[in-house]
Amino acid sequence: MAAGSFETPADERGSGKLSVADLDLKGKRVFLRTDLNVPLAQSRITDDTRIRVALPTIQHCLRAGASVVLASHLGRPNGTPDPRYSLAPVAQRVGDFLRRAVPLAPDCVASATLLQARALNPGELLLLENLRFHPGEEKNDREFARALGRLADCYVNDAFSASHRAHASLVGITRFLQPAAAGLLLQREVEALGRILDRPERPLAAILGGAKVGDKLALVQNLLTRVDILLIGGGMAFTFLKAQGHAVGRSLVEDGLLLKASEFLLIARKRGVRLELPVDVVVGEGPEGKAKGVVPAGEIPSGLMGLDIGPASLARFREALTAARTIVWNGPVGVFEKAEFAAGTVELARAVAASGAFSMVGGGDTVAAIHQAGVGERIGYLSTAGGAFLEFLEGRSLPGIAALTDRG
């Protein structure tokens, strides 16, 4: 693969996309779309991971002699200014990392903001206030996109985690601001996912958890055509278990998807995919209650629900992973936020780390579980993306990537 470029995934075959590393940035103003959508508690940042992973592209642009107009959304202010979703704390934290003051433009498309952007000198940085304070952002409004485009000379998208959204700062702006290139983080995310989907070292194993099958129908369907091993835990496992005729008590089940679950189980058998479901579970009256012990996954009492995989399930999952050379994981296999039901997910994280396989973990909850297990440094790639990660694995085209300039 050529330096500074990446090949598009299977859903976007053709030429690769331009990278920020391909651009001559000296003296240019760069509109850098990042995902700085960090969690806040009373205007205090509780996790700055998304800021830290954005720094390499910011620093690359500044060192290359560019000035940077930095943009992001934060939360869901519903198209109107709301001080609860101000990027002021983000400006402060970015400044702390860069050891410089980072001014915050109070409005992302005001005439005063245009003057601020045009006054930037090489090596200087301006952060725009929350893009979603304007309804035109989520509507991909043409005039709003045009106004954003006036702020810079070229465009860089480093917000992979938002690139499944056809929003103005991700798609519409590229009609008015060219070239449009991939940032370093976005490039790494796409390359890691491409390693999973297009050129995995086999056997390829996938671990799926989380609450609902309905949220991951397309993902399961796509992975069944690609993986050798599929481990299913979390709430979504109980729809599959009920489809097999097991008693699952009050566990989360999507009755409307029982036939689809049966279909997936049949596809797995026909394709020779090793599909593992829990054989035992930790049960309780509900996620807020106490654990009531471990029972066989098909014999859950009527008044209880499965809330974590049990030790026998963990042993089977761990054994399946010993054969894997590539692992992709999305979704915890229990209610890991509660200590009573965290052991399965935490121990599975340690098994993934110890497997020796190239591993990629995506989604906020799953990445949090990896850190809770203390094995983050032993995972091949941790993705901060949630929805974009899933849609990419489903084989869907992401609008924010499709909009970038083709190389060549």
- Domain borders along the chain are 10-185, 192-393
Residue 330 has pLDDT above 80, yes or no: yes
- pLDDT bracket for residue 386 (50, 70, 90): confident
- pLDDT bracket for residue 198 (50, 70, 90): confident
Give pLDDT, residue 99: 96
- C-alpha triplet 87, 93, 94: angle, nearest 5°: 85
Pair type for strands 291-296 and 280-284:
antiparallel
Please name the CATH architecture into which domain 192-393 falls: 3-Layer(aba) Sandwich (3.40)
Give pLDDT, residue 7: 37
Percent of the chain past pLDDT 90, that is, above it, reads 86
Please name the CATH architecture into which domain 10-185 falls: 3-Layer(aba) Sandwich (3.40)
Alpha helices in 150-257 (DSSP H): 184-197, 217-223, 237-243
Residue 197 has pLDDT above 90, yes or no: no
| 402 torsion bin: left (phi>0), alpha (psi -120 to 50), beta (else) | alpha
Mean pLDDT, rounded, for 25-50: 95
User: Do 38 and 48 meet the contact criterion of CB atoms below 8 Å apart?
Assistant: yes
Mean pLDDT, rounded, for 273-283: 98
Predicted model pTM: 0.88
User: Do 149 and 173 meet the contact criterion of CB atoms below 8 Å apart?
Assistant: yes
Q: Which carries the bigger pLDDT value, residue 385 or residue 406?
A: 406
- C-alpha triplet 260, 266, 268: angle, nearest 5°: 105
Of the candidate ranges 16-20, 177-181, 209-213, the one whose mean pLDDT is the lowest: 209-213
Mean pLDDT, rounded, for 18-46: 96
Give pLDDT, residue 199: 85
Give pLDDT, residue 194: 86
Q: What are residue 67's DSSP bridge partners?
A: 29
Task: Please tell me which of 5-14, 149-158, 371-380 the model is most confident about, judged by mean pLDDT.
Answer: 149-158
Q: Report how far residue 253's alpha carbon sits from residue 262's, in angstroms, rounded to the nearest whole number.
A: 13
Mean pLDDT, rounded, for 166-184: 98
Q: Which carries the bigger pLDDT value, residue 195 or residue 271?
A: 271
Give pLDDT, residue 143: 98
Residue 408 has pLDDT above 90, yes or no: no
Residue 132 has pLDDT above 70, yes or no: yes
Residue 75 has pLDDT above 60, yes or no: yes
Residue 252 has pLDDT above 70, yes or no: yes
Of the candidate ranges 14-18, 139-143, 332-336, 360-364, the one whose mean pLDDT is the lowest: 14-18
Distances (CA, A) of 11 to 55, 280, 359: 29, 38, 22
Q: Please, what is the average pLDDT of the chain?
A: 93
Question: Is the fold of 10-185 the same as that of 192-393?
Answer: yes
Q: Provide the annotated active-site residues.
A: 50, 212, 364, 387
**Residues shown for the chain:** 408
Q: Report how far residue 287's alpha carbon sits from residue 137's, in angstroms, rounded to the nearest whole number.
A: 37
Percent of the chain past pLDDT 70, that is, above it, reads 96
